[in-house]
Structure 1
Amino acid sequence: MTTTTIQQDLYPTRTGEVPGPAFEREHQTVWGSAADGPFDADALEEHEKRGFTILQDFITGDEIELYSAELRRLSSDDSLTGDPRLITEKSTGDVRSVFEVTKLSQAIDALSRDPRVLDRARQLLGSEVYLHQTRVNYMPGFKGSGFYWHSDFETWHAEDGMPLPRAVSCSIALTPNYPFNGGLMVMPGSHQTYAPGVGETPADNHTSSLKEQTVGVPSQEAVTQMAHRYGIDQFTGPAGSALWFDSNIMHGSGNNITPFPRSNVFMVFNSVENALVEPYAAPAPRPEHIASRDFTPLS
């Protein structure tokens, strides 16, 4: 286990319309060892190199149905109408995401504490962890909209005050991820490069960025350079697959114009040694349901 000391902003971003140049990351991706959890040494080495790991058959068929039922329940729950945790599509008004889902679903709260999940998060981050963010995502067929290229850490650093990229996301597919239904695209190895975002953060940026992110995204030049350097891969696989990916990996998704919907449970684990401070490039922190400031270790 490694202790982190934060003294300055090591990942500046959103300093104006001309972003600073991309630069190499200073910190490791894997903070634990093979002795700390389920991943063996080869898997950890590959994760350090690529920045992501795909595990098929991570949950069972019965669990897929359980969490899918929870997603259907939450997306049709009239009591959540007007609740800031419920995010709708910009163009259609359909449900896009439901945040802070572990407080709305006992089943998904239990999943976040399941040893299959929690032990891997602790191992990758080399410490006790807490949930920075949780949500369920739903991309409907024909009209689901994607997300432009971005690094999650850039946003979490700028708007939430996350000091270092010592966080990991786990996305568990509840539907098949095909190459053609808006599946997540990643640039393998791009987590080693930090690309500052363009522009400055307006007040309450989260009210629009969760529908369509336009502030803090990398420049087209940075995306082009990284795509040529790292290439582009995609998270595909059957329902029940899990994608573990580093907080700084460059990723995005296209629109879903197929009849096949895509949904997932999404959990972000942050090291308790990387607790949030004041935002580095925003007027105020985002709300608790988007970026938790309860740093109690998950158990």
Structure 2
Amino acid sequence: MNTTVRPDLYPTRVTAQAFPQPRVDPTVWGEASGPLSKGQLDRYESSGYLVLDNLLSPQEVETYRAEMERLGTDPVLRASERVILEPESDQVRSVFEVEKVSELFAALLHSPRLIDVARQVLNSDVYIHQSRVNYKPGFGGAQFDWHSDFETWHSEDGMPRPRAFSVSIALSENYPFNGPLLVMPGTHKTFIPTVGETPPDFHKESLRVERLPVGSPGREHLSRMAEQHGIEHVTGPAGTAVMFDSNLLHASSGNITPFARSNIFIVYNSVENTLDAPFAAPKPRPQHLGNREFPV
């Protein structure tokens, strides 16, 4: 009988007190050549995020914005699990797995300008772990609580190590006042477990609530990280992209302005870091949240 115990380098969803631990994995996984300069890689390694100006042209922004609107008003898609609504309204919050429902988005997500960056940073071939468009509508776009994406992907999807990162591409202006991405630079180098068991089908709740009952670090840890690292907001015109490490603490406030903050969101994972059984959940999340149909 095989008695091999699967190693868990980042235990979380604990039942008692959570103790932060130093990250045991790199941020930049090798010295592969690619589009990013050494200076850009050094900034990304140090802070856990990197802004890429003018990733999309103004014409591309208009094309993808129109496609985003088409997806958000498609009645068949809206009735599917891929669409998440805002917690206090019937406005669309997110549409997931966009490369499966849009040829336009599929071409962008698999384009060399993104894939080559992912291969360079992760030092391997890559695949899309998750994708979505986020609408963050004016007068009602809800906040996203502080969290590390890797903590969720490890717990609920079975991602072994933080050999993944996200890219958020702005399709509208990111102002300081319309709920921009907030980051604590440097926190990607510390893994903070969270307290509490993962409820069954927790994704049905966690994707809509403003405050996470499970999966967000305790306030004492957030306060300590903010004091040590500070908080920065990521702003910029439509077409700007930000890539950030899977373990970076981030959040966004609610949008009470008339100005939507819409974006395309893609997660690239290494082919050497594919999903296993969840480390702290009764069963894996659905395919549209954590890709198991590998490779793509």
Residue in 1 aligned with 2:25?
27
Deviations 1:27-68 (A, max 9, x none): 1000132x5210111111111000000011111111101110
Match of 2:95 among 95, 98, 105: 98
2:164 matches 1:167: yes
CA distance in structure 2 between the aligned counterparts of 1:19 and 1:261, rounded to whole angstroms: 39
Residue in 2 aligned with 1:76?
73
CA distance in structure 2 between the aligned counterparts of 1:19 and 1:193, rounded to whole angstroms: 16
Percent same amino acid at aligned positions? Answer: 53
Matched length: 290
TM-score of the pair, normalised by structure 2: 0.96
Residue in 2 aligned with 1:193?
190
C-alpha displacement of 1:282: 0.1
CA distance in structure 2 between the aligned counterparts of 1:107 and 1:214, rounded to whole angstroms: 36
Residue in 2 aligned with 1:284?
283
Gaps of 5+ in 2: none
Instruction: Give the alignment of 1:232-247 within 5 angstroms.
Output: 232-247=231-246
Deviations 1:163-201 (A, max 9, x none): 000001010000010110000100000000111112110
Q: Is the 8 A contact 2:174 2:237 kept in 1?
A: yes
Letter aligned with residue 31 of structure 1: W
CA distance in structure 2 between the aligned counterparts of 1:51 and 1:19, rounded to whole angstroms: 26
CA distance in structure 2 between the aligned counterparts of 1:250 and 1:141, rounded to whole angstroms: 24
Q: Is the 8 A contact 2:157 2:290 kept in 1?
A: yes
TM-score of the pair, normalised by structure 1: 0.95
Instruction: Give the alignment of 1:7-86 within 5 angstroms.
Output: 7-16=6-15, 18-33=16-31, 35-86=32-83
Residue in 1 aligned with 2:143?
146
CA distance in structure 2 between the aligned counterparts of 1:176 and 1:201, rounded to whole angstroms: 35
Deviations 1:108-130 (A, max 9, x none): 00001111111001111110001
Residue in 1 aligned with 2:248?
249
CA distance in structure 1 between the aligned counterparts of 2:183 and 2:146, rounded to whole angstroms: 9
Letter aligned with residue 239 of structure 2: G
Match of 1:158 among 155, 158, 166: 155
Deviations 1:68-104 (A, max 9, x none): 0111001111112320000001111210000011001
Residue in 1 aligned with 2:120?
123
Could you list the structure 1 runs, at least 4 aligned residues long, displaced by more than 6 angstroms after superposition: none
Secondary structure of the structure 2 residue equivalent to 1:273: coil
Letter aligned with residue 154 of structure 1: E
